[in-house]
Each structure stands twice: as structure tokens, then as C-alpha cells.
Amino acid sequence: MRAAVAAKAPPRLDLSGSRAAIVFGALALLFAGLAARSVWLQAVEDDFLKGQGAARHSRELEVPAHRGRITDRHGEALAISTPVKSLWAFPSRFSATAAQLAELARILETTPAALRRQVEAAGDFVYLGRRIPPEAAERALALRIQGLNDENEYRRFYPGGEVMSHVVGFTGDRDAGQEGIELAQQPWLGGVAGSRRVIIDRRGEVVEDVAAVRAPQAGRDLALSLDSRLQFVAFRELKAAVEQHKAKAGSLVVLDVSSGEVLALANWPAFNPNRRDKVERDRMRNRAFTDTFEPGSTMKPFAIAAALDAGIVKPSTPIHTQGGAMTLGGHTIHDAHPHGVLTVEEVLQKSSNIGTAKIALQLPAEGMHGRLAAAGFGAPARAGFPGEVSGRLRPAKGWKPIEQATISYGHGISANLVQLARAYTVFATDGELKPATMFKSAAAVAGQPVFRPETARAVRRMLEMATQPGGTAPKAQVVGYRVAGKTGTAHKLDGKTYGNKYVASFVGFAPVSAPRIVVAVMIDEPSAGQYYGGAVAAPVFSSVTGASLRLLGVPADAPANNVILPPEEAQVREET
């Protein structure tokens, strides 16, 4: 019995001798390997492993900065940012049922197929909806779609719509400036975006905000020189004129004489910056800065002023206009109406091409070029707007007599409307060219002397004569205010020759007794029968100038019955 029990006892492990050494050696090596691997992972591959873990469960998301406001000179908002939401996902973790996808598409005003294409075409990250109303984002999140997340963003809104569109411009998808002041002042307005680190779960949804890596820095507000009241008037009158004369386009600029500030700048056609999905790029162009044209007879005061300043002529000097035709180098130039002998001031009043050419040809070419360059022609006004062009003023050494003659009355030279408006500050002041600016100034600024004060005042008198009966622009007159200015009617180049299309313009200032504003108007290709500057552009000047002076509270300097228009049947003196 005892022997049977002994036979059933379990075998004993024999660890004696070499077998024990082998077993304990193997265990020691195993633990040593584990220890070495642990040291390797923590000391050598620590950064890699942390990165892999973060890649699977941690993300750094951008925190947008609040963009600065754009206001007019009185603090009226022209561009503001409002809080909105954007919906995003990691495509690899995005999963929605057909019903969920259909409802999400309805909320985002798109189609399920379009959403599928967005997700499939994306890489590691995709926005499914950008800058949508917060309530719409809440409805989307309530669908409980796997991998769908939201983030805070801002949407730019433009209260002025198309009235301010060409000046203010607009921002793009990432709230960065794309056109206008929004583009030019991006560093000032945009601020600096921040970032935050978040933890995501296996469904691709944010479950925890770990930390703010970098706090966003808000953009700064910017006050423009524009006066919203004057801007509305300018836009309304310009649009009406372009439509009335069936023109291709038009531009209008109002400058403050003392500071050079742009108080209004309008273009037509325009666009609504709040709805740009179907807008033609051509409508977004700020023509007052980016388009040049031959200014025509609005250039005549500068040639005459240069001759007056050089002492070559006086306002009363007689000039024989040769009955309206003169030949130079095989080319004949004409006046719109034949004249005989005119004084210098009558040459400007009646806009005689021949009289102006004969005066200009008494000047050295370099001297005339120097005065035009000093008045800002051939160089951008640097008013702070992107895409501003310089126009064309060829070097004087290449001028032939016929070219000097035609430049004196605005052919063979080009400028944009802001340049032209700015140039007229030399006559609205005592001969100083003011620096144009799109930004609000604290006070009057000094200008660069171009002509002697007595020369500027003499030309100012001539420009006032041009708006009176006998001049080319009686329709520029304003009730209660004395005005001065010059019409322009220029053929447009069609290739290398002049065709039958015109640019009608008028540039002037008021009140003459103490000039406060310069107003420049350009109507491109009027086609309703009238195309002279005195008939097309001067009435726009009258409407805008009168309304602007009253809105600015400028005292009247003429009686209420000062406007004297010639009879309808009377011949109006026009220029070509």
C-alpha cells in the first residue's frame, strides 16, 4: 500500500549542475534584453514614439485671429468680422450613413455626391463647410456623424456693399485680403493666427483641449479717408451718368484740397463683395487707380501754367489760332471751332488746341516735361492702393514738335483719374502738389511747389471762366458756389490709330474763393449721342460738388442765382 502511494508522487525538478546555470542565464538574458529595449525606447526613440502617439491621438489646430475693422473717417464700419463656424473632418475617420449625409448636405446647401467627392479627394484633413452660421453648425453636429468636428472662425461682412467695393476690396477663404485695402493692409488688419492642441478619439472627434500652443493676436482697426456720405453721392451720380449715356464704364474721385485725402472714390460697373460667387473679374477692377486714359483738354492748364511760370506769356498775351487749323511736320491739328486771335486766358476758356500748342511750343521740351513730371504725371500717386499704375510720360529728348504740341492738349500722354485729380491740387492751392492718400489724416499736409502762387491763381481764374457762358463747361456750375475746372474729350486709341470712341472727362474744384475739394469725373465710351466732356462729365461734377460742399458745411461764396446757362439753342463751345 505504501509502495503504491510512493509511486504516484509528482516528479521533482532537478536544477542541479549545468542545467540550473542554463535556465538562470536565459532568464537573465531575457530581462537584460527587456531592460535594454526599455532604455532604447525611452532614450533613443522617445521623440519618434511620442510623435507617433500624437499623430494618432493629438492634433494642432489653427485658432483664427479677429481681423481689424475698416471704417470711414467718421468711424462708420466699412468691413467687420462676425463669428461663424466651420465644419471639418479627418477623411480616414469620417463615416456617415446615407441619411446623415443627405441631411448634412441639406444644411450646407450642397449635395451628398459633392460631399463624398470632397472627402475622397482630400488628404489628411478636409473642410466640409466654411464660415457657416453657428446655428447651422449646431444642427450639423446634432446629426452625430462620426469624425465631424467644428471650429470657430470669422466671416467678413461689408455693410457698404457695391458702393464701397472697389476701395475696401474683400478677403478670401482664409480671411486674407484679396483686393483693395483688405489686400494692401493685410499685415495691419490680419493679425496673427494662434493654435491649440487637442486630443481626438478613435472616431476622429475632439474629446479634449490639451493646451493653447499660441494665442492669436487680433488685427488692428483702420480708418480710411473716405466720407461715407460723399461716397454714396458720388456712386449714385456716376452710376446714373454711365447708364444715361450708355457708357462702357466710369470713375469719379473727390479729394480734400488741404490734406490730399480721398473723400470719395467710385467706379461703375461695381460688384457686391458680400456675394462674389458669380462676379466677373472685370467688375472688380478699381479703374480710378488701375486704368489709364489720354486726358485730353484737361491737360491744357498745365502747359499754359508752365509758359506763364517761365514768363513766356501773360494771361492777356494774344495768340493767333489760325482759323482753327495748323500743320506741324506734315500733321494738321484742328480746333473744334475756328477762332482768330485769342488771349491766353481765352485759349483755355474756349479750349483751343492750336492756341495751347503754340503756347507750349515756345517752351523748351525739357522744361515742359519737368513741369508735367513735377505735377505727378508719369509716376504713381502712391495713395496706398494696390495695383496703382503710373501712366505714361515719355522722356522729352524724344519729343518732336508735333508730339510736344499734342501732349499739351492731352494726347500722347496717359494718366489714371487719381493722378489727374491730384495734379489739379496745384491750381486749387497756391501752386503746391498735395500727396494723395486713402487714409485719414489728422491735419493739413504740406505739398511740393510746382508753380509760383501768382501762376496758380492766374490759371484758377481761367478755369473759372471755362465754367461760365462762353466756356466749354457751363453745365459744371453749382448753385451758391463758384467753381473752376476743365473739360476733356479724347479719342481712344484703337491699336495704333484713333478710332471713333471717346473718353469724356471733367476735373475741377470749389469753392473758388477758398478751394475745399477737387472732383474728377471720367466717362468711358459714352454712346447715347453725346460724348463731349462738357455735356457728359460736367453735369456729374456739378451734382457731386454741390452735394459734397453742402454735406461738408462749406459756406456759399456766390448768390443763389449765380448759375447762368446758355440757351438750349445756343452753340456750346466744345473741345476735341
Do the domain assignments include residue 37?
no
Q: What is the pLDDT of residue 16?
A: 60
The pLDDT-based confidence of 58 (bands split at 50, 70, 90) is: low
- Phi first, then psi: what are they for 273, rounded to 5°? -70, -15
Contact 479, 498 (CB under 8 A): no
Within-domain flag for 21: no
Grade residue 92 by pLDDT with cuts at 50, 70 and 90. Answer: confident
pLDDT bin (cut points 50, 70, 90) of residue 174 is confident
**C-beta separation of 110 from 73 below 8 A:** no
Give, in order, the Cα–Cα distances in Å from 467 to each of 187, 539, 541, 562.
45, 11, 11, 12
- Assess whether pLDDT exceeds 50 at residue 227: yes
* Separation CA 334–CA 299 (nearest Å): 16
64: cell is 483664427
- What lies within 8 Å, CB to CB, of 324 at 6+ separation is 334, 335, 337, 338, 339, 354
Total count of domains within the chain = 2
Residue 219 in contact with residue 188, Cβ under 8 Å? yes
Grid cell in block for residue 104: 448634412
Q: Region 217-229: what's the mean pLDDT?
A: 96
In the three-class reduction of DSSP (H, G, I as helix; E, B as strand; rest coil), residue 407 is classed as helix
Q: Are 171 and 81 in contact (CB under 8 A)?
A: no
Q: Are strands 70-71 and 77-89 parallel, antiparallel or unpaired?
A: antiparallel
More confident call, 39 vs 341: 341
Neighbouring CB atoms inside 10 A of 98's CB total 8
Q: How many CB atoms lie within 10 A of CB 194?
A: 16
CB-facing half-sphere around the CA of 158: CA atoms within 13 A: 21
pLDDT at 48: 58
2 part of a folded domain = no
Supply the pLDDT for residue 300: 98
Look up residue 120 and give its amino acid.
Answer: E
Under 8 Å between Cβ of 225 and 510: no
On whether both 273 and 400 belong to a single domain, the answer is: yes
The string of DSSP codes covering 345-411 is HHHHHTT-HHHHHHHHTTS-HHHHHHHHHHTTTTS----S-TT----B---GGG--HHHHHHHHTTS
Give the whole-angstrom CA distance, residue 563 versus residue 542: 11
Q: What is the mean pLDDT of residues 388-398?
A: 94
CB neighbours of residue 201 within 10 Å: 13
What DSSP string runs through 7-64? Answer: HTSPPPP---THHHHHHHHHHHHHHHHHHHHHHHHHHTSHHHHHHHHHHHHEEEEEEP
Q: Tens digit of pLDDT for each residue in 228-282?
A: 999 999 999 999 999 999 999 999 999 999 999 999 999 999 999 998 878 888 8
Radius of gyration of the chain (CA): 37
Q: How far apart are CA 222 and CA 20, in angstroms?
A: 85
Lowest-confidence region among 268-282, 385-399, 467-481, 501-515: 268-282
340, 353: one domain: yes
* CA dist list (Å): 39 to 35, 173, 284: 6, 48, 64
Q: How confident is the model over 542-567, as a mean pLDDT?
A: 95
In a domain, residue 449? The reply is yes
Residue 25, CA distances (Å) to 28, 31, 32, 535 in order: 5, 10, 10, 110
Adjacent-strand bridge partners of 222: 70
Asked if residue 184 is part of any domain, the answer here is yes
Give the type of residue at 220.
Answer: R
pLDDT for res 380: 94
Mean pLDDT of the chain: 89
Domain CATH for 258 = 3.40.710.10
- Among 168, 195, 224, the domain-final residue is 224
Residues 428 and 520 in one domain: yes
Find all residues with CB under 8 Å of 521, minimum gap 6, and list them: 238, 241, 250, 251, 252, 505, 506, 507, 537, 538, 540, 541, 544
**Is the model's pLDDT at 318 over the cut of 90?**
yes
Predicted local confidence at residue 540, as pLDDT? 98
179 with 292, same domain: the answer is no
d(CA 365, CA 270): 41
Q: Is residue 573 part of a domain?
A: no
Residue 573, pLDDT score: 54
39-43, 181-185, 214-218, 444-448: which range is least confident on average? Answer: 39-43
For residues 319 and 436, membership in a common domain is answered with yes
Q: How far apart are CA 323 and CA 330, in angstroms?
A: 18
Last residue of a domain, one of 224, 259, 280: 224
300 and 218 both lie in a single domain: no
Q: Which residues have CB under 8 Å from 378's CB, separation 6+?
A: 372, 390, 391, 392, 393
Q: Where residue 71 falls among pLDDT bands split at 50, 70, 90? A: very high
How many Å apart are CA 230 and CA 236, to the nearest integer?
10
Q: For residues 491 and 384, state if they share a domain.
A: yes
pLDDT number for residue 337: 86
Would you state the torsion angle of the CA atoms of residues 378, 381, 385, 389, taken in this order, to the nearest 10 degrees? -10
CATH number at residue 199: 3.90.1310.10
Question: DSSP per residue over 97-131, as a string?
Answer: -HHHHHHHHHHTTS-HHHHHHHHHH-SS-EEEEEE
Cell 488688419 maps to which residue? 189
Same domain membership, residue 245 and residue 203? no
Q: Which residues are catalytic?
A: 297
- For residues 565 and 414, the model is more confident at 414
Encode pLDDT of 296-313 as tens digits: 999 999 999 999 999 999
What's the average model confidence in pLDDT over 165-180?
92
Residue 567 has pLDDT above 50, yes or no: yes
Q: Are residues 519 and 427 in the same domain?
A: yes
Q: Are residues 203 and 269 in the same domain?
A: no
Report yes or no on 104 lying in a domain. no
Residue 81 pLDDT exceeds 50:
yes
In a domain, 354, yes or no: yes
* Residue type, position 345, single letter: E
Residue 498: predicted pLDDT:
79
pLDDT reading at 481 higher than 60 = yes
Backbone CA torsion sign across 541, 259, 167, 228: negative
Tell me how crowded residue 341 is: count the other CB atoms within 10 A of its CB. Answer: 11
Name the percent of the chain lying above pLDDT 90.
71
Q: Measured between alpha carbons, how far is 285 from 269 in angstroms, rounded to an integer?
A: 9
Amino acid at 22: I
Kindly tell me if the per-residue pLDDT of 1 is higher than 50: no
Counting residues of the chain whose pLDDT is more than 70, the rounded percentage is 89
Instruction: Give the lowest-confidence range in 20-24, 167-171, 183-187, 451-455.
Output: 20-24
Mean pLDDT of 518-525: 98
Read off the pLDDT of residues 105-143 as tens digits, 9 standing for 90 and up: 999 999 999 999 999 988 888 999 988 999 999 999 999
Say yes or no: 277 and 364 in one domain: yes
Helix (H, G, I), strand (E, B) or coil at 375: coil
Query: Residue 160: which domain range?
Result: 58-89+156-224
Q: Does one domain contain both 233 and 220?
A: no
- Quote the pLDDT of residue 15: 54
* Confidence check: pLDDT of 569 > 50: no
Average of pLDDT values for 362-371? 97
